[in-house]
Amino acid sequence: MANKKLQKTHVPDDILVKILSRLPVKSLIRFICVSNRWRFLLYDPQFAKYHFKVASEQQTLSPSLLISTASELRSVHLETPSFAIGGNSLVRNLSFPLKQQGRAVKVLGSCNGLVCVALDFHECFYIWNPSTRFLQKLPDPDFGSEEIRRHYKYGFGYASTIDDYKVVVGAELTYETDRANKYPVVVFSLRANSWKKIQAPLSPHGHSEGALSNEALHWLHTSCRPQPVAIAFDLAKEEFRNVMLPICEQNELGYRRVGVLLEGCLCAWANGFPDFEYLEIWVMREYNVYESWTVLFKVANDVPIFIRESGTVVMRDRNSKNVELIWLDKNQDKFKKDVVSRERYMIQGLDSGNDLTQYVETLLPFVSIVCDQQTPVVAIPVSHLITVQEITVQNISIMVPMKLTGPNFTVWKWLFLQVLRKYRVEGLVEGTEICPPAFLFDTNGKITNQVNPAFEKWMDRDQSVMVWLNSRISEDLLPYTVGASSSHALWMIMKKRFADASDSPFA
């Protein structure tokens, strides 16, 4: 009798959403296999946004450190001070599908759980969610040359006022002799789905990731004397401005970098002259208010990577290839070295500062708002739209009687392609039927707020096909599909993973 009552119990969707939105990302990914209902809910980008909103408001976002070396990618959980040398539950290996053996994935920045990475200097830029394995390639930037020596300034962030993600990259060209053209800076806009060159007062000396605070990226201005400043790039306005750094009256400070507390405040760290025995970490309590700069604490003279208001600091040892996790007792005097609790985690193969970056775990995908303005609007016949919507999961289970398990990929794919061709949606999964722009353009070529009807029709068909595909994938394989934002992305994940492993001689 008790079992029958349990089977009849149904939790309303709004209650289920409120419960699941308060769980950590790792648990939610495991819960995808609970049922089709939970799977479709957790795939929903709107749920991902709501989950991120709740976690941000309750300050329960789980911080991690992303470590990229030539041999592997690792994630180090930073929430609790219980670290030990060697492998443990706080350290896990990450799988990046396009990583090349012997080459490190260059990390350009992180925002909202998404990480911007590059496999080469002039191409192969991606947005990646390490938690869900979502991956999306960006158009290749045009620096004016493919002979690039390095990226000297870079960053990635989100502007809520215009609902747009942006990537900033400054490159040093190898053979360019004209200084005006030697250090181009380009900006990628997700909303425009394109890169453009900008004039930027960024110093080419050194290389650093922009610190994201108050929807602006910040870099240290290395040649500004006597008043030290950070250069800020407003992601919404695409304008540069100076943010004044503090001047200490007792000792001259030599600033080495600007960063951000996990709580979001801009901070800066500097050596105290003349002995360089310590590092002062300053925090700007009120953004762009010079008088709000205060000393947070002093630490040993290493390189801070991760800082929390509570006193948790991740340091990189300047004299070795180590990352040191340091916990400072908030209730004791941080200026005394003997109250510092220091534990170490050994890392091999680090060669530059951009091998390390912090991120938080989220379910957010990097979904395109609009496509290239040159993409023609695709007219979808209404009859095709209605036909696709009327096909249920039960219909698909009859036409494709087997679920994908991996080794049966070739047969599974052959069965599905017949269905996709019959209902004229093969172009969606193959990527040949391009997504129309989400918004219409005016006569001057500018984006309006009017939704493109062709985009809505395309999305309806594409999401219907995604439901078809997901319904015929075994539960063991569903975690690999988390974060796929289109039927083409989902199709390619399965194709890349299982095409070579198929048991059919015709694969």
What burial class does residue 109 get, using C-beta atoms within 10 Å of its C-beta: 0-12 exposed, 13-18 middle, 19+ buried? buried
**Average pLDDT value for residue range 459-486:** 85
Radius of gyration of the CA atoms of the chain, in A: 25
Residue 408 — very low, low, confident or very high, per pLDDT cuts 50/70/90? confident
Contact (CB, 8 A) for 186 and 198: yes
Asked if pLDDT for residue 479 goes beyond 90, the answer is no
- CA 501, CA 57: separation in Å to the nearest integer? 44
Per-residue tokens: 433: 């039927």
Task: Find the angle CA(256)-CA(257)-CA(261) to the nearest 5 degrees.
Answer: 140
Question: Whole-model pTM?
Answer: 0.68
pLDDT band at 157 (very low <50, low <70, confident <90, very high): very high
Give the residue-averaged pLDDT of 415-443: 80
Q: d(Cα 208, Cα 358) in Å, to the nearest integer?
A: 14
- pLDDT, average across residues 296-307: 71
Q: What is the pLDDT of residue 326?
A: 61
pLDDT in the model for residue 445: 61
Q: Helices (H) and strands (E) in the chain — how many of each?
A: 12, 27
- SS3 of residue 189 by DSSP: strand
- Let me know if domain 63-360 sits in CATH 2.120.10.30: yes
Which pLDDT score, from 0 to 100, does residue 51 have?
92
Helix (H, G, I), strand (E, B) or coil at 10: coil
Q: Which residue has the tokens 């004039």?
A: 199
Beta-carbon contacts of 292 under 8 Å, excluding residues fewer than 6 positions away, are 284, 285, 286
Other Cβ atoms closer than 10 A to 184: 22
Is pLDDT at 468 greater than 80 in this prediction? yes
Q: What is the pLDDT of residue 237?
A: 93
**What's the pLDDT band for 96 if we cut at 50, 70, 90?**
confident
Average pLDDT over residues 369-391: 41
pLDDT at 335 over 70: no
Q: How far apart are the first and last CA of the chain?
A: 50
Q: Which residues pair with 186 in a beta bridge?
A: 169, 197
Helix (H) or strand (E) holding 458: helix 453-471
The pLDDT-based confidence of 377 (bands split at 50, 70, 90) is very low
- pLDDT at residue 206, rounded to an integer: 67
Q: Which residue has the higher pLDDT, 382 or 269?
A: 269
Which band of pLDDT confidence, cut at 50, 70 and 90, is reported for residue 339? very low
CB atoms within 10 A of CB 192: 17
| Average pLDDT estimate for 163-191 | 86
pLDDT for 83: 47
Domain locations in the chain as residue ranges:
12-60, 63-360, 370-507
Q: How high is the pLDDT of residue 213? A: 92
